[in-house]
């Protein structure tokens, strides 16, 4: 959508007009089956006024949304066993069925969430709902990019504003194909008394942040959430994502300053615990790749592991090639587009690229560096693409707890292990499936193994409490 943000007297109205025009706009792409009749194709091209370069011949079904009907069939023997996300052990009920006090739990320790294995409803959603109901909470600040149609997050923010709390919501109303829904949410939140802002001119706000400011008698304390996925309870059951719930003063202060920046109250560009696009995500990652090269050259341990949805940024790819040439082991898990070529002699001998496709959509982003034996890990919303690094507000947070850094390392170990079922990218750009061992035995299903692991952890934690 093309909207002049500077000139629009009312951005919502301008966007609504543009959405109405989009329904009758010119096509930019025509998808047809390979077997389409030439006369029919000629008629479509003529009537729709598209060029030959805008016609795409596809080998399979055109509208895959129809597959939803197959999923809804009552054939349990053809489906995965039922899976119910579990409450994180550090947020589980104690002694009774009443929900845990989120703020007491977070004042004791940070919580690293792994959805959908850890329930979104009893972690992130409960965090916002308890903040809205807590009389000691002074303010809630949150970004919203996409959310569900019947969003309990929106309802909680409305309740908070109506009870007199200061509520700031940064809504990205230009989120592709969610524009109508986000405009509706923006109006509902404004009517409830929330301060609704639409981010920085020329940039989409894609970061996933929430901040709660609470008066605890002896002083003000801030609690924060940084995630890799949207505040959407429905997709949180199908998308694999990570999130950090924390009361860390440094992280919370940085997020507070970033909200001030995004809402126009202040202009700050340096955040000690965050990497923020478009200013510092690319530069920060390149600096850390270079640091691994220097560790390797000095004889210290060096390794780079990254998990992302896409990798096409040339600067990042070139830096990873340099790391490989310096002898640094680089292991990547990339679900979608990957423009890097691993295993090319003299260029990327020390780089592997894997992709995990399974029951859940792998959506989290992890950037893990050995750092000479003192590992660091970052998680957040940014993929390694131009749009993320240059045209969006994205946030990566440094994980404060060494235990959580180690936990992310173990997760990457499992996902990148040769014994885990995955797709491997070759030096010629071809993907090859590896799902069986040399003996013909099936390899480990990553997501199935994580379901079993989280169940064991929850059962062990419950046994300890008893």
> What per-residue confidence (pLDDT) applies to 13?
65
pLDDT(95) > 50: no
CA nearest neighbour of 122 among 145, 97, 139: 97
DSSP 292-309: HHHHHHTTS--EEEEEES
Looking at 66-70, 77-81, 265-269, 363-367, which range is the least confident one?
Answer: 265-269
Asked if the domains 89-272 and 276-465 are classified in one and the same CATH topology, the answer is yes
Mean of per-residue pLDDT scores for the chain: 91
Closest CA to 201 of 14, 340, 330, 17: 14
Tokens representing 438 are: 């040399």
376-399: pLDDT as tens digits: 999 999 999 999 999 999 999 999
Strand pairing category for 55-58 and 195-197: unpaired
What is the helix, strand, coil percentage profile of the chain, to 5?
35, 25, 40
Write the Ramachandran bin of 299: left for phi over 0, alpha for psi from -120 to 50, otherwise beta. Answer: left
Phi, psi torsion values for 296, nearest 5 degrees: -60, -45
Strand locations in 15-116, DSSP E? 30-33, 55-58, 111-115
Closest alpha carbon to 51 in 35, 28, 72, 71: 28
| CATH topology (fold) of 89-272 | Endonuclease; Chain A (3.30.870)
Continuous segment of H or E residues that includes residue 222:
strand 220-227
In the 8-state DSSP scheme, what is residue 273? T
Q: What is the pLDDT of residues 190-218, one digit of tens each?
A: 999 999 998 777 888 999 999 999 999 99
pLDDT at 455: 82
Query: For position 96, what pLDDT does the model report?
Result: 53
Cα separation of 361 and 239, whole Å?
5
Give yes or no for residue 186 having a pLDDT over 70.
yes
Average pLDDT over residues 86-102: 80
Domain positions in the chain: 11-78, 89-272, 276-465
Positions marked active-site: 206
How far is the C-alpha of 157 from the C-alpha of 443, rounded, in Å?
45
- Asked if the model's pLDDT at residue 176 lies above 70, the reply is no
pLDDT of 457 reads 76
pLDDT tens, position by position, 242-262: 999 999 999 999 999 999 999
Which H or E run contains 254?
helix 249-262
Per CATH, domain 276-465 is 3.40.920.10: no
- pLDDT the model gives residue 8: 41
Cα distance between residue 232 and residue 245, in whole Å: 16
Q: Helix H segments across 2-151?
A: 11-22, 38-48, 68-71, 102-108, 126-133
Instruction: Indicate the pLDDT class of residue 462, thresholds 50, 70 and 90.
Output: low
Whether residue 268 has pLDDT greater than 80: no
Kindly give, in sequence order, each residue whose CB lies less than 8 Å from that of residue 12, ignoring residues fewer than 6 positions away: 173, 183, 186, 187
Q: Which residue has the higher pLDDT, 167 or 173?
A: 167
Q: Does the pLDDT at position 23 exceed 80?
A: no
Residue 98, pLDDT > 70, answer yes
- Predicted TM-score of the model (pTM): 0.90
Per-residue pLDDT for 4 more than 70? Answer: no
Per-residue model confidence as pLDDT tens digits over 101-160:
999 999 999 999 999 999 999 999 999 999 999 999 999 999 998 765 678 999 999 999
CB 396 within 8 Å of CB 367: yes
Average pLDDT of 294-307? Answer: 98
| Sequence-distant (≥ 6) Cβ neighbours of residue 293 within 8 angstroms | 302, 322, 323, 326, 328
Q: Which has the closest alpha carbon to 343: 433, 428, 238? A: 428
What average pLDDT does range 98-103 have in this prediction? Answer: 88
């Amino acid at each position: 959508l093309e909207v002049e943000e500077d000139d629009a007297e009312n951005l919502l109205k301008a966007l609504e007009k543009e959405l109405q025009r989009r329904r009758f706009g010119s096509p930019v792409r025509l998808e047809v089956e390979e077997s389409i009749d030439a006369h029919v194709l000629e008629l479509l091209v003529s009537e729709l006024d598209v060029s030959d370069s805008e016609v795409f011949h596809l080998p399979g079904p055109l509208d895959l949304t129809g597959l939803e009907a197959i999923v809804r069939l009552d054939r349990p023997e053809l489906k995965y066993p039922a899976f119910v996300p579990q409450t994180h052990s550090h947020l589980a009920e104690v002694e009774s069925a009443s929900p845990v006090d989120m703020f007491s739990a977070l004042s004791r320790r940070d919580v690293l969430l792994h959805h959908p294995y850890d329930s979104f409803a009893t972690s992130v959603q409960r965090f916002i709902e308890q903040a809205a109901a807590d009389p000691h909470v002074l303010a809630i600040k949150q970004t919203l990019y996409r959310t569900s149609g019947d969003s309990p997050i929106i309802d909680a923010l409305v309740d908070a504003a109506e009870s007199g709390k200061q509520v700031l919501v940064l809504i990205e109303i230009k989120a592709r194909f969610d524009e109508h829904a986000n405009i509706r949410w923006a109006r509902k939140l404004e009517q409830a008394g929330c301060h609704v802002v639409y981010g920085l001119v020329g940039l989409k706000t894609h970061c996933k942040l929430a901040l709660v400011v609470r008066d605890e008698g002896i002083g003000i304390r801030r609690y924060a959430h940084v995630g890799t996925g949207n505040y959407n309870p429905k997709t949180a059951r199908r998308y694999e994502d990570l999130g950090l719930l924390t009361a860390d003063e440094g992280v919370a202060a940085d997020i507070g300053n970033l909200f001030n920046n995004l809402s126009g109250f202040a202009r700050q560009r340096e955040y000690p615990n965050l990497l923020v696009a478009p200013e510092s995500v690319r530069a920060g990652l390149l600096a850390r790749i270079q640091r691994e090269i220097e560790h390797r050259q000095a004889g210290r341990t060096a390794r780079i592991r990254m998990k992302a949805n896409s990798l096409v940024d040339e600067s990042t790819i070139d830096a990873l090639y340099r790391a490989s040439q310096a002898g640094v082991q680089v292991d990547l898990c990339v679900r979608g587009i990957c423009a890097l070529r691993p295993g090319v002699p003299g260029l990327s001998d020390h780089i592997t690229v894997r992709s995990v496709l399974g029951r859940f959509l792998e959506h989290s982003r992890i950037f893990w560096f050995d750092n000479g034996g003192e590992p660091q890990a970052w998680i957040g919303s940014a993929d390694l693409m131009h749009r993320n690094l240059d045209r969006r507000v994205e946030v990566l947070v440094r994980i404060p707890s060494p235990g959580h850094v180690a936990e992310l390392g173990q997760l990457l170990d499992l996902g990148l292990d040769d014994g885990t079922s995955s797709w491997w990218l070759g030096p010629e750009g071809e993907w090859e499936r590896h799902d069986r061992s040399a003996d013909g035995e099936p390899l480990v299903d990553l997501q199935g193994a994580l379901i079993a692991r989280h169940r064991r952890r929850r059962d062990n934690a419950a046994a300890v409490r008893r």
